[in-house]
Amino acid sequence: MLKVALGNTNLNVSQVGIGVLPMGPGQLALPVDEGADIICHAVRQGINFIDTAQYYRTYPYIRRALEILSLDGGERTHGAPDGLVICSKSLAHDYDNMTAAIEQALTELARPFMDIFLMHEVRTGGFEERKGAWQALIDAREAGLVKAIGVSTHHVDVTEQMASVPECDVVFSLINYASMGIRRGSDPGTCEEMLEAIRACRNAGKGVFTMKVFGGGNLTENYRKALDYVFSKEEIQSVMIGFGRKTEVDDVINYLSGVMPADYNPDISHKKIRISQDDCEGCGSCIKVCASKAIFYNKNGLAQIDQSRCLTCGYCSYACPVRAIIRY
Ligand code: SF4
Ligand code: SF4
């Protein structure tokens, strides 16, 4: 698999990364060995870049995969100590909580350092509000506990901002051809705007990788179109894709190898829609658009889906301002 030097860091990453979110408790809640098996499957096919987060509670999958890979008799992967590049991130707002998040990752993953650690989901104005957390990242890099630091964001304006932050090494931004989930301040943003911001980061020497190529699962029906979009943009250095099944890894490998039929679309008959109770703000927009009347307010005042009524059309996800509705 093609590897690229991520910005001005010394990290070489595969053009696709393994997003572990889908296997974790927030979505599929796979047994640890099953999730680790998916990670190992991807690594054995040349993918060396892994994305996780404190919030995802998925460190056990990665740790188990690292144990299995170190036991592999045959081809052992790359260098430091195994050539994998692991990125994690935290929603922490202050210095102490960010420091604790880094320590937690090092302990739970049993790594001597984190390759990349980010401020997770930085929104408009958030970089300033979370300056204590940012200082913790700078200090951790200085101490050798983290190799590269940066932010993850859905926001065009935050991506733009990072181009002129000298301490920022990498930016992890949201982009897909349908502009699903892209924000600009309190408004929706477009993929063209995000690409322009990513270009500014690249011109400033930042490493850039991206998320949500399939819009949280809602663009999977246009599988090739979604992948064609991100892989045709030279500004995008690597694309994180969430994997919950080995066949999903195989699909991406087939695509990159050029052996995927032009009309291929994955079987998504197993997909369901759910609403993240952590992210829903109870605004009710999804309830208004659901023609099947499959969404109701639960006792917490948050939206919930009645699976027996849901047609998995995905229309509700377009209406949600905070991307709380996900397909899994
Ligand atoms: S996917 Fe379609 S049917 Fe299901 S809850 Fe959303 S809008 Fe309703
Ligand atoms: S649109 Fe999103 S935030 Fe609003 S109630 Fe539905 S799931 Fe919750």
* Phi and psi torsions of 17, nearest 5°: -115, 160
pLDDT at 74 over 50: no
pTM: 0.83
Q: Which atom of ligand 1 is nearest to the CA of 306?
A: 5
pLDDT bucket at 328, cuts 50 / 70 / 90: low
| Residue 77 CB less than 6 A away from ligand 1 | no
**Least confident piece of the model among 226-235, 276-285, 310-319:** 310-319
pLDDT in tens, 140-153: 999 999 999 999 99
Question: Using one digit for the tens of pLDDT, what is the confidence trace for 54-67?
Answer: 988 899 999 999 99
Question: Is pLDDT above 90 for 263?
Answer: no
pLDDT band at 75 (very low <50, low <70, confident <90, very high): very low
Q: What confidence category does residue 18 fall into, taking pLDDT thresholds of 50, 70 and 90?
A: very high
Of 320, 323, 326, 327, best ligand 2 pocket probe by most atoms within 8 Å of the beta carbon: 320
Q: From the CA of 317, how far away is ligand 1's center (Å)?
A: 8
Q: Which atom of ligand 2 is nearest to the CA of 325?
A: 7
Amino acid 214 reads: F
Residue whose CA is closest, atom 4 of ligand 1? 310
The pLDDT value given to residue 12: 96
Question: Can you list the domains of the chain with their CATH numbers?
Answer: 3-257 (3.20.20.100), 273-327 (3.30.70.20)
The closest of 277, 295, 276 to 285, measured between CA atoms, is 295
270 band by pLDDT with thresholds 50, 70 and 90 = low
Residue 233 Cα distances to 23, 151, 170, 199, 227, angstroms:
28, 20, 17, 10, 10
Give the type of residue at 232: S
**pLDDT, tens digit (0-9, with 9 covering 90-100), for 78-110:** 434 468 999 999 999 999 999 999 999 999 999
The rounded Å distance from CA 312 to ligand 1 centre is 5
For residue 312, pLDDT beyond 80: no
SS3 assignment for 196-245: HHHHHHHHCCCEEEEECCCHHHCCHHHHHHHHHHHHCCCCCCEEEEECCC
Our answer on whether the CB atom of 135 is closer than 6 Å to any ligand 2 atom is no
Is the C-beta atom of 310 inside 6 A of ligand 1? Answer: yes
Confidence band of 122 (pLDDT split at 50, 70, 90): very high
Give yes or no for a contact between 72 and 38, defined as CB atoms under 8 angstroms apart: no
Higher pLDDT, 138 or 315: 138
Q: Which of 316, 317, 326, 327 best tests ligand 1's pocket when mutated (most atoms within 8 Å of CB)?
A: 316
326 lines ligand 2 (CB under 6 A): no
Cβ of 285 closer than 6 Å to ligand 2, yes or no, is yes
Between CA 21 and CA 41 the distance in angstroms is 16
Average pLDDT for residues 197-212, to the nearest whole number?
97
* Gap from CA of 305 to ligand 2 centroid (Å): 11
Question: Residue 268's pLDDT band (boundaries 50, 70, 90)?
Answer: low
For ligand 1, whether the C-beta of 320 sits within 6 Å is no
Q: Which residue has the higher pLDDT, 135 or 220?
A: 135
